[in-house]
Amino acid sequence: MATREGKYLTFTLAGEEYGIGILKVKEIIGMMAITTVPQTPAYVKGVINLRGKVIPIVDLRLKFDMASINQTEKTCIIVVEVANGGQKVMIGILVDSVSEVLNIKGGDIEDTPNFGSHLNTEYILGMAKTGGKVKILLDIDRVLSNEETALLAKVA
């Protein structure tokens, strides 16, 4: 439990709250022009030029098989560093809105419920109980497979 305790940046997707470890977050930016890249998976929205660095943008709604929505003034990009398969890649994740940074104690984090063997939940660190609600804590390094991370490294 102690390894999961810490500060998390919380954000919303389709009305649900999620959290990612604050140490993975490089910055939060507003929406900017995204250049689409042909022949990439639907969840890869394209790339942005962030102060001279080309960063691939992943739409978490599409990655998690949620319905796509139009961008709002609250839509933003969380730039994170993903370490997967021996590679470190900076990616931007598109979320509905960013909420706050929470300090979550180990005792408030429960293991992911068992949804059966057909559902992959490796990318979920745990379920945080805060303020009478449940926030889904993501292991951002595992949201994308090794192959998907390698693809994004090529796109960038």
pLDDT in tens, 103-138: 999 999 999 887 776 677 889 999 999 989 999 999
pLDDT, position 146: 85
**Residues 55-64: pLDDT tens digits?**
999 999 999 9
> Residue 70: is its pLDDT beyond 50?
yes
Whole-number Å distance between alpha carbons of 63 and 37: 16
Residue % of the chain over a pLDDT of 70 = 97
> Which backbone phi and psi does 132 adopt, to 5 degrees?
75, 5
pLDDT above 50: residue 29:
yes
For residue 1, what pLDDT is reported?
41
Q: Is residue 81 predicted with pLDDT exceeding 50?
A: yes
Residue 19 has pLDDT above 90, yes or no: yes
pLDDT greater than 80 at residue 85: no
Distant-in-sequence, close-in-space partners of 32: CB < 8 Å, separation ≥ 6: 48, 77
Enumerate the β-bridge partners of residue 39.
none
Of 87, 102, 83, 80, give the one whose Cα is nearest residue 23. 80
For the cut 90, the answer to whether the pLDDT of residue 49 exceeds it is yes
CA diameter of the chain:
45
